[in-house]
Amino acid sequence: MPNKPITKAVLACGGWSTRFLPTVKIYAKQLLPILDKPQILWVMEELVGAGITDFCIVHRDGEESLKRFFQPDPALDSYLASVG
């Protein structure tokens, strides 16, 4: 039986991140930048490079900034298209 490639990943992004207070009162620790982008993007880019196509991000209840980061924003997309 041939081995099937792994294509799914679960990212554990839960917790209160109290060591990063007060910054994490505004947005999730995973969105804190490392150099030029949020740290979660560094991880996801590595996973995509390894062949991962499906992600499940597990976050704490009530954490909205992480969800908003990955959701499309039609108003922003429209603005960016209008200014080129």
Its pTM surpasses 0.85: no
Amino acid at 42: W
Residue that is written with structure tokens 């908003």 in the block: 68
Segment holding 55, helix H or strand E: strand 54-59
Query: What confidence tens digit (pLDDT) does each residue in 3-20 have?
Result: 889 999 999 988 888 888
Query: What confidence tens digit (pLDDT) does each residue in 20-74 have?
Result: 888 888 888 899 999 999 999 999 999 999 999 999 999 988 888 888 999 999 9
